[in-house]
Structure formats: C-alpha cells, structure tokens
Amino acid sequence: MLQKPRGTRDFLPDEMESRREVEGMMRKVARTWGYREICTPEFEELELFTIRSGEGIIQEMYVFEDKGGRKMALRPELTAPVLRMYVNEGRTLQKPLRWYYFADCFRYERPQKGRYRQFWQFGVELIGADSPIAEAEVIMLAHEALSSSGISFSLHVGHLSFMRVLLQELEPDEQKRARMFLDKKDTAGLEDYLSSRDHSGLSDRLIALAGCRDLKEACAITGDNPDRKRIEDLFTILDQSGICYTLNPGIARGLDYYTGMVFEAFAENLGAENQVLGGGTYRLAHLFGGEDTPSCGFAIGFDRVMVARGDKGTAGGVVIGLAFTPEGRGWALTVAREFRRAGICISFDLSGRSIGQQISHISRTADFALIIGARERDEQVVTLKDLRSGMQKELTLSNALCEVRGADPR
C-alpha cells in the first residue's frame, strides 16, 4: 500500500472542520484590524530564501530544478515571499500595507510533535510603518488572533537593542557564541567563555538581562540605549492595550534580520515544539531590490495551535437524512431543494432499500429523518422524525423547515 510522504498528514472531515473553524476565526480577527489577504506562489526561486539566510538552509528545504534548469524551492516560510511581492507590485500602493496570509510551507526536517514537513502558517505583515504604535498593533493583533483559537499561551515581548548594547564590545563571532550560551541557559559556560575572552564582567550583566522582566531594571542593566525612548513608548502602549504579556529582553532567536522589537508566544502541553508564534520588526525589502522599508509582522504555527487545542469538537449544523420511496422521489427532490435553499444540510439515502432500512442507516449519523413516500406526495406534506426523541409529525414543508431550524444538532 502506498503511504503518504513522511512528515505530511491527511485530514479527515472532522479534523478539517475544526481546522477551518480556527482558520476562520483568525481571518476574521485580521480583517477587523484592516488586514487583507494575499497569496504568493507555493514555490519560488531558491535565491529568494538563500539571499537572507545563506546556503546552509538548502539542506532544510525542498529544492528542485525545473525543466528550464532553474533552481526552485518550495516556500519554507512566507515573510520573504511577501516582501518579494511587495517589492514587485506593492511599491506604489499607499503605505502602510496591512496584509495577512494563511498558507502552507515546506521544510525538510525530522518530524516530531508539532513539527511536520508540510505545515500551515497564519501571519501578517505591516509594511511601511515604523513606530511604536505600529509595533504595538502587530503585537495586539497577534494576541487577539491567538486568543481567538481558544488556546492558552504566554506572550513574550523583547527588543534586540538590550542585548545589542551589551554585546557591542564583542566581535561578531563572539556575540554569536555568547547568544548560544544564553539560549541554552548555560550560565556557567557563558561565564567561562567570556572570562577566557577578557570580558569577564559581561556575563553577569547578560545573565541578569536575560532573566529580567522589568523595563526599568533592563534599562538599568544596559545603561545607555539609543532606542530607549522608543522602547518605553512601545511598552507604555502595550500596558494601555490591556493584553497580558511578559517583557523578555533575552529573546535573541536565530533571526538575523530582525532589527528591533521581537516577540514570541508559547503554548502549554506541546512538548519540545511549544513555540506557536514568532514575530518582530525587520527590514528585508532592500534585499529584494526595493527601497529600505521598515516592516513588522508575525507568523503563527497553525498546526501547533491545533495540537494545543486538543480534540475540541466543532458544533456543526443540524443534519437530515431523507428516506423516500420511488413514488415519493419527485416530491423528495423538491423538498430537499427547499431545505438546501434554507441552508440546512440534507442528504438522500442512496441505497433504494425499504423505508425501515433507510431510516436505520440514517439514524446513525443524522439528527432528523425526513420520510417521503406516496402518501406524503399525494398530500404535499413530509413526515419529520426527530431521531433523538423518536417523535414524528406530518408537517407541511414550511412547518418542517421551521421545526428543524429551531433544533440543536446532536
């Protein structure tokens, strides 16, 4: 038997329905903030992704050569394609641009809980705005979009300039090593490394900063910071916004293209891959041939959100099965048409067996059985049986519609 490719998933209707429900809530949130949906190609020129991240990421991407000999890649993320799109066709649009996307991405990685080779991201990009209020907007929108999914999460907001100020006395490769130690919370390793490099005074301050959760404290640790005013503005707005967040100056991540504010969200019961959202302020447009444009955005790991939600069922609508005899078929077709026009889900029993057998089959999945035979046809009525109570009534079509509309699905 053929199997699906490693790291991919099939979705049965139940799961698909709940995915669409969550997706719909996120879309709705984005729309109410004035963000509009865009779509970019599933594959791009490989260079689009290596230009920023280097050749190293090729081994983690689906890369192929097309029939014209071009090096292509399935998109591993959306930010670069969106900014490429902005440079190609968004430059003359009025700024700022508020865009969102819901799209699948591909990465060639070892699958595990919450990590798949094909996965979906919901994200937004705010292009052409450069202010604390713009950054705050993106954070607030992220918070609302994630909240709408119903999961519980913690939101961490930081700013790269804290770390940058402390690290500026180090060489670039030393900075990288120091960040690595901080990421792993290896304080002893960091201390050893920095004292071996004649920066022994630095490790205490770095460790204090990474653990710091208070703005005044963070500013005290870092001292002179050219971005201080702006950072204070940002956090003042966030405090006014009413969202719940944690200041975390230690967020460094491996993202070299972020320029200032960075933020992340983590969900519970997700195992090792518990980050469900990442975002920040960045500048990418100039890499793709555009003007240097300030941008801010985030991406939600949609599949991880779904894992974190667990098996929450979705409330579907009422479902009706239609049992009919050959004599009643014409009338049954008319009745079904009217139910569908009213937006109610109704399916014929396709077996052509006896009414009893049809109902027996229907009763396993539906809320109501509608029975139509010669008798109903002659009187232009329907027999509606509530399968939960066992009660049944002979009703006119419009009365049957009313009856069903007022009912709750099982």
Residue choice 182, 300, 359, 404 for contact with RNA (CB under 7 A):
359
Spatial separation of the C-alpha atoms in residues 126 and 98, rounded to whole Å: 5
Which of 88, 354 has the CB closer to RNA? 354
Residue selected from 53, 222, 259, 293 as contacting RNA according to rule CB under 7 A:
53
Q: Does 63 bind RNA (CB under 7 A)?
A: no
Report if residue 356 touches RNA, rule: CB under 7 A.
yes
Count of positions on this chain that bind RNA (CB under 7 A)? 60
Q: How many CA atoms lie within 13 A of 313 on its CB side?
A: 5
How many CA atoms are closer than 13 Å to the CA of 190, on its beta-carbon side?
22
CA torsion, ordered 57, 23, 258, 50, to nearest 10 deg = 20
Residue 173 structure tokens: 């490769």
Closest CA to 371 of 174, 214, 388, 354: 354
Tokens for 102? 């819901």
- Gyration radius (Cα) of the chain, Å: 28
CB of 103 to RNA, least distance (A): 14
Asked if 250 is part of the footprint of RNA (rule: CB under 7 A), the reply reads: no
Return the number of the residue (231 or 381) whose C-beta is nearest RNA. 381
Q: Minimum CB separation from RNA for residue 56, in Å?
A: 8
Minimum Å gap between C-beta 119 and RNA is 10
Sequence-separated contacts (24+) of 91-97 with Cβ below 8 Å: 91/290, 91/291, 95/127, 95/128, 95/129, 96/126, 96/127, 96/128, 96/129, 96/134, 97/125, 97/126, 97/127, 97/128
CA distance 97 to 294: 11
User: Which residues, 268 to 287, sit near RNA by CB under 7 A?
Assistant: 271-273, 275, 278
Q: For the CB of residue 239, give the shortest distance to RNA in the complex, in Å.
A: 27
Q: Using the rule CB under 7 A, is 393 a contact of RNA?
A: no
Residues 100-139 that bind RNA (CB under 7 A): 107, 109-115
Give the other-Cβ count within 10 Å of 129's Cβ: 19
Query: Does 387 participate in binding RNA (rule CB under 7 A)?
Result: yes
Interacting residue with RNA among 177, 197, 205, 253 (CB under 7 A): 253
State yes or no: residue 380 binds RNA (CB under 7 A): no
Binding mask 159-188 for RNA (x = CB under 7 A): ---------------------x--xx----
Tell me whether residue 235 or residue 298 sits nearer to RNA (CB atom): 298
Does 323 bind RNA (CB under 7 A)? Our answer is yes
In eight-state DSSP terms, residue 254 is S
Residue 407 within binding range of RNA, rule CB under 7 A: no
Residues 249 and 259: beta-carbon distance below 8 Å: no
Do residues 43 and 75 lie in contact, with contact meaning Cβ atoms separated by under 8 Å? yes
Q: Which residues have CB under 8 Å from 113's CB, separation 6+? A: 270, 271, 272, 273, 307
Which of 332, 371, 395, 400 is the binder for RNA (CB under 7 A)?
A: 371
Q: Which residues bind RNA (CB under 7 A)?
A: 1, 3, 6-7, 49, 52-53, 57, 60-61, 76-77, 79-80, 107, 109-115, 180, 183-184, 253-255, 271-273, 275, 278, 323, 325, 327-328, 351, 353-357, 359-360, 363-364, 369, 371-376, 383, 385, 387-388, 390, 392
